[in-house]
A and B are shown apart, each in its own frame.
Chain A
Amino acid sequence: MIIDVLLVLMAVIVWVLGRSRNLFGVIILSGAYSFLMATLLVALDAVDVAMTEASVGAGISTVLLLGALFLCHSEEARPVRKPWLPLAMVISVGALLVYGTLGLPEFSNPQAPIHTHVVPRYLNELKEEVAVPNVVTAVLASYRGYDTLGETTVVFTAGAGVVALLRRRRKDREG
């Protein structure tokens, strides 16, 4: 019930986002979208993901986008051509993705492959092996430690990339 309401609200926001030309409104609405998404994730009992969505999606992204808005006009320019080709492209890719989801196991089906592979082992032996009550933390940091190391390296690389790109620009402007 709550999930349905949230999904309808999110769909409304996406519709308004598509119609709006005022970039300030767009940024605030996408922040609202992220908060709805975070609430949805709480309703789905994925509190860790909800926390990340609320802080990154609604918090930091909004601030960065507002910072970018400060550097440009607040009204989106009218496109020169009618965007029929991109629209058709997006709709067909979207239809393809929806078609792909039809092959997935039913939502919260306990017999789904993801729940029968390593998850039972994690849940059953976690108490003796790791003894950390939060399964998400245990899987992320211990069982999947290599993945998280890679993830941290990706974050570092992203930061280094931004530093490399923006620094050079500034020097160009001075010189």
Chain B
Amino acid sequence: MRNDLILRVVAKMVIPFVLLFALYVQFHGDFGPGGGFQAGVILAAAVIFYALIFGLADARKVVPEPLVESMMAIGVLIYAGVGVAGLLLGGNYLDYFVLDPDPVHGQHRGIFWVEVGVATTVSGVMLKIFYMFAGRGKVDE
């Protein structure tokens, strides 16, 4: 679909907004609907959209495979790391109250980083699965 002018232009116009929406869903998840999982999927969907229009090779250049693979693990590590941080600060595992002198702020901080971890892992896994599936056949490469 690389040569289809309409698709290319529409994709170029839409993808930034999809990415922005993913960030909104991520960081506004405390207040509105959404959260790490949804944001991760939307982020992955934006890259998949890019890959469908501009080809898998170009998408791999933008979001290289080693980055995607490490994102899968880094997300879980961030999440588990929040738990360990709670331990080090004298609370229980995944206890957010101790993350900040103000317990309510601590909760916010904990939720924020936990959601970052979820989004990282989810978008990494979704993209990796897409790369693996799309890379198997002759799909537009």
Interface residue ranges, A against B (CB under 8 Å): 47-48, 50-52, 55-56, 59-60, 63-64, 67-68, 70-71, 128-134, 136-138, 140-142, 145-146, 148-149, 151-153, 155-156, 158-160, 162-163, 166-167, 169-170
- For the residues of A in contact with B, the DSSP-based class is helix
A48 touches B34 (CB 8 A): yes
B75 touches A132 (CB 8 A): no
User: Could you say which of A47, A156, A169, A170 contacts B73, with CB atoms under 8 Å apart?
Assistant: A156
A51-B38, A137-B30 known; A159+B124 contact, CB < 8 A:
yes
Residues in B with CB closer than 8 Å to A148 are: 79, 114, 118
A55-B42, A129-B104, A159-B124 known; A134+B134 contact, CB < 8 A:
no
Interface size classification for chain B? 35 or more
Q: Is B8 an interface residue (CB 8 A)?
A: no
Q: Is B139 an interface residue (CB 8 A)?
A: yes
Contact with A along B128-141 (1 / 0, CB 8 A): 11101110111100
A48 closest partner in B (C-beta): B33
Which residues in window 3-42 of B have CB below 8 A to A?
Answer: 25, 29-38, 41-42
The CA-CA distance from A67 to B114 in the complex, in Å, is 32
B35 touches A136 (CB 8 A): yes
What would be 30 A-B contacts, judged by CB atoms less than 8 Å apart?
A51-B25, A51-B38, A52-B37, A59-B41, A60-B41, A60-B48, A60-B130, A63-B52, A67-B134, A128-B104, A130-B111, A131-B104, A131-B107, A134-B30, A134-B33, A136-B33, A137-B35, A137-B111, A138-B111, A140-B35, A141-B35, A141-B114, A145-B83, A146-B94, A152-B76, A152-B79, A156-B72, A159-B121, A159-B124, A159-B128
